[in-house]
Amino acid sequence: MGVRVTRKRSKQRKGFIRELRKRLIAKPHSTLITFAVLTFLVVTGENHVLRGGFNVDRYDLDVAEGDIFIIYIRPVLERVSVDCKPLVRGNPYDLSISTNYTDNFYGETTVIWMKPGAQGKYNLTITFETNEAWDYILGVYSRNVNMSLYGKNAKVYGRFIELQRPYTRTSGNWTINIVLDSHGEPLPAFVINLPTPLNSVLLATVTGLVTYFNIFILLDTYFKNLKETVSNKRWLFCGITMLASALMIYELYIFTVFTLSGGG
């Protein structure tokens, strides 16, 4: 019985392959077009699904902490519902909506702005109903354009980064669900805080006097050592004096930058 079933399946498989070959030979253009369409749908990665009578677009996007994530929707929507939930409890954010906003580049639109106030993920959901075709654009207003975060395919217009080309959608009930992952900006490897101009004068004056005193002691000891042998205590005194001077200058720097300047 097992042998018969195996042979039957083998015949069915061979028959399917023969039929597929006939179609490829008879209609090669149709087959190539179908394959190209399927490939496009897979490669472009459209995030559109239909769920419970609602059309849903889903995204997972990265954004720098402090940058403003923005969605332009055209034409203007009469009503729109926007909800934002930080996935890390207590994470702050700013959310603003304008149902009729005129942009210099995109014209009359409905706009949603969202600014993460901390690192972590935020779940942003936009729900609305429209009776006509519409399109939308996702972008970011950035303080420091970070293409390593937003990707090479993003388009930059000054401070605005367009994350994607405009997507056109049909009428109906729609939900746009976006999970934003807010990242902190990398700190510079070496940062020097400078005091105010008045405090800089104080710091420079004291540093100059201390440096002059140290150079005088060092040169005096050196030339004395050429004439006669200077004791180890004298050299030790020079070393301790220079270390104490360096510590004093550092403490004065901290004082002038952070204390006198009110915290830098």
pLDDT number for residue 6: 38
One-letter amino acid of 124: L
Final residue before a domain boundary, out of 183, 215, 233: 183
Final residue before a domain boundary, out of 142, 160, 183: 183
Same domain, 38 and 52: no
Same domain, 94 and 172: yes
Distances (CA, A) of 76 to 107, 181, 259: 10, 28, 52
Residue 190, in any domain of the structure: no
pLDDT number for residue 40: 40
Same domain, 90 and 51: yes
Same domain, 77 and 115: yes
pLDDT number for residue 187: 46
Q: Helix H segments across 109-196?
A: 147-150
Q: What is the pTM of this model?
A: 0.53
pLDDT number for residue 114: 94
Q: Give the single-character DSSP code of 223.
A: H
Domain that holds residue 39: 2-43
Same domain, 9 and 74: no
CB 71, CB 141: distance < 8 Å: no
Same domain, 126 and 221: no
pLDDT number for residue 150: 78
Same domain, 146 and 233: no
- Structure tokens, 249: 């200058």
Question: Exposed/middle/buried for 101, CB within 10 Å: 0-12, 13-18, 19+?
Answer: middle
pLDDT number for residue 105: 82
Residue 191, in any domain of the structure: no
Q: What is the phi/psi pair of residue 85, to 5°?
A: -130, 120
pLDDT number for residue 256: 82
Q: What is the number of domains present in the chain?
A: 3
Same domain, 67 and 33: no
Mean pLDDT, contiguous 10-residue spans, the chain (264 residues): 41 53 54 45 48 80 89 93 91 92 89 93 94 93 75 81 86 94 65 76 90 90 84 88 91 79 48
Same domain, 31 and 100: no
